[in-house]
Amino acid sequence: MSPEVRQYLLVTGNYWVFTLTDGALRMLVVLHFHQLCYSPLEVAMLFLFYEFFGVITNLLGGWLGAHAGLNATMNAGLAMQVIALSMLLVPDSMLTVALVMAAQALSGIAKDLNKMSAKSAIRLLVPKEAQRTLYRWVALLTGSKNALKGVGFFLGGVLLAAWGFRGAIAAMASVLAVVCLCSMVYLNRDLGKSSTKPLFSQLFSKSRAVNCLSGARLFLFAARDIWFVVALPVYLSSTLGWDGWAVGAFLAVWVIGYGLVQSVAPRLTGSGGADVPDGRTATGWALVLSLVPAAIAIAMSVGTAIGLSLVVGLLVFGALFAVNSALHSFLIVSYANDDGVSLDVGFYYMANAMGRLLGTVLSGWVFQNWGLAYCLWISSALIGISAVVSLLLPRHAGGESGLLQ
């Protein structure tokens, strides 16, 4: 096994375990505080700092990664997640909204340090000219991560039912602490260090391709989270009467399926032998995706088998969204500059976090005031904007040599 493959497996393993705890924690917080009779908007506000600090972390994390190396940022993310989980181990009487928001803020920083480090590391472990290999590796990393996030959703619901809130948190913190120690020992210490230390003023990308892709990513993820974060689990629980484990199971299946489709996206987006996507590819898939939430909203409005329409429609949405996300994930590591790759990747994931922040706030506000159907209509509009922005992305004539940077 080559050193590059060993490092890839280590980075992927770190990312997997972190993702399990991140997905489980999100489900634990949503279900636990919904059981405590918090309103949808109040539950959404618990994640406000999680997403807000994700924006800041991605912007600064790329700069830190270029200076200190991706080893430092990845291990810092793992350690901070252990601390964030430990903060929630206090007695129920001390589990205030302020404390949960603070823990979520730390968890948001940890998650985006870990994600930025993992995605940047893959770009450095694959030769620049091997674009198809890069696409497959990125798709596999991202797809497997999202599948495990789905497992984390289910795990969160099961652990809440079996062990309670504090028991579930303690188990996750213990496992993640072991993973953090292993990563500190075995991860390459010089991974991702830039040969020329970038200035703080270089945080914002000067690449037109990276800027356009970041804009498309912002609207794409706002479109998902406007119904996914709060509106859907609360709707399934309060309107359709699903139990907590059933809500967690459905979200788990959705995200697992989303991750599996993401991992095989290179096969779905290839045409003949030219399986390296470009801006045209991203635009086309976004336009198709934008039709799905609108179709679900129409089905809900006419009242035809609402539960079945919602479940089937969201499964179709998940498959198409997975392809769109995989395309973006490949394009950013392809567009990123070789020296200081974490700067471009960090800037891109800052836009991703901004989209999630926007979607999270809208998820609680729109659902509380107008319902799930309106969330889906706005989701369709946001994806349409993402498709329009994708028109500005570079295109190539075909094959790896024609890829525009």
The model's pTM is 0.76
> What are the residue ranges spanned by the domains of the chain?
3-402
* Whether pLDDT at 385 is above 80: yes
Q: What is the pLDDT averaged over residues 221-240?
A: 91
* Whether pLDDT at 397 is above 60: no
The pLDDT value recorded for residue 1 is 59
Q: Where is average pLDDT lowest: 97-111, 123-137, 187-201, 351-365? A: 187-201
**315-367 pLDDT, tens digit each:** 999 999 999 999 998 898 888 776 556 678 878 888 988 998 899 889 989 99
What are the tokens at 190? 């010089």
**Between 374 and 125, whose confidence is greater?**
374
* Whether pLDDT at 228 is above 70: yes
Token pair 């939430």 is found at: 293
**248-280 pLDDT, tens digit each:** 788 888 988 888 898 888 888 864 445 678 899
Q: Where is average pLDDT lowest: 63-72, 181-190, 329-338, 364-373? A: 63-72
Q: How far is CA 96 from CA 33, 92, 93, in A?
A: 11, 8, 8
Q: How far is CA 130 from CA 10, 123, 135, in A?
A: 21, 10, 9
Query: d(Cα 43, Cα 204) in Å, to the nearest integer?
Result: 32
The pLDDT value recorded for residue 194 is 58
Quick one: angle between helices 244-263 and 3-35, nearest 10?
150
What are the tokens at 176? 């993640």
The pLDDT value recorded for residue 191 is 67
Q: What is the pLDDT averaged over residues 362-373?
A: 92
- Domain boundaries 3-402, corresponding CATH code: 1.20.1250.20
What are the tokens at 59? 């912007």
Q: Where is average pLDDT lowest: 150-154, 290-294, 323-327? A: 150-154
The pLDDT value recorded for residue 163 is 87
* Whether pLDDT at 114 is above 70: yes
Q: Name the band, by pLDDT with cuts 50, 70 and 90, for residue 404.
A: very low
Q: Name the band, by pLDDT with cuts 50, 70 and 90, for residue 198.
A: low
**11-22 pLDDT, tens digit each:** 778 888 888 888
